[in-house]
A and B are shown apart, each in its own frame.
Chain A
């Protein structure tokens, strides 16, 4: 069965950095685009970043562009989100999410991890 397990969340001061990981299993990781989606406490869902199945293309929300970098290691079946210059407003649960369609960027999400909490606070 498909599993996505995020890790790397924690408490960090404003201006700090953090790297999130998402370990995938139960599907052909290298064939699917992947996304990060976040949810601030008590708020709705916000798409953060996308990476193509082969890592050749990326897109970001304006709110994180230039500060966050999405990457993947298909040999390790792992997705990453490197976060720099963190702000209080980046505080959220961060979910990795699998794209629906093999070999394309369908951008609906059929499997989600359980999420990892990032808290930016002094």
Chain B
């Protein structure tokens, strides 16, 4: 099973700042990695798939990068609506499909 480790667990930023979220895989997942955003009481929303492709309707301030074992989700300038929990997810060598434990982006 491929384990995804996200860091930091919590990221405290002010609106307008740049957010950098990390996801590290226990073995290579090539570019088969996605990022999701989840707000309280809501289902997750797909932001990025295949490491760097923005999903339909996702704002350009969200970008993904990386390949192999190290991946980054960047929010270029955090908006008030971006405060949420972010999960990475891999689809390489599955089953099982696995998720990271999440990074909480909170208002500083």
Given A47-B97, A47-B98, are A114 and B91 also a contact pair (CB < 8 Å)? no
Q: Determine the distance from Cα of A108 to Cα of B88 in the docked complex, in whole angstroms.
A: 10
B97 CB to nearest chain A CB (Å): 4
A107 touches B94 (CB 8 A): yes
Q: B44 — which chain A residues lie within 8 A by C-beta?
A: 45, 95, 109, 112
B9 CB to nearest chain A CB (Å): 11
Q: Determine the distance from Cα of A112 to Cα of B46 in the docked complex, in whole angstroms.
A: 9
Complex partner residue of A95 from B43, B49, B96, CB under 8 angstroms:
B43
Given A61-B96, A100-B49, A108-B49, are A45 and B43 also a contact pair (CB < 8 Å)? no
Interface residues of A (CB under 8 A from B): 35, 44-47, 50, 59-62, 95, 100, 106-110, 112-115
Given contacts A108-B89, A109-B34, A109-B89, 19 further A-B contacts (CB under 8 A): A44-B100, A45-B89, A45-B99, A46-B99, A47-B89, A47-B97, A47-B99, A50-B97, A60-B95, A61-B95, A95-B43, A100-B49, A107-B97, A108-B49, A110-B46, A110-B49, A110-B55, A112-B43, A112-B44
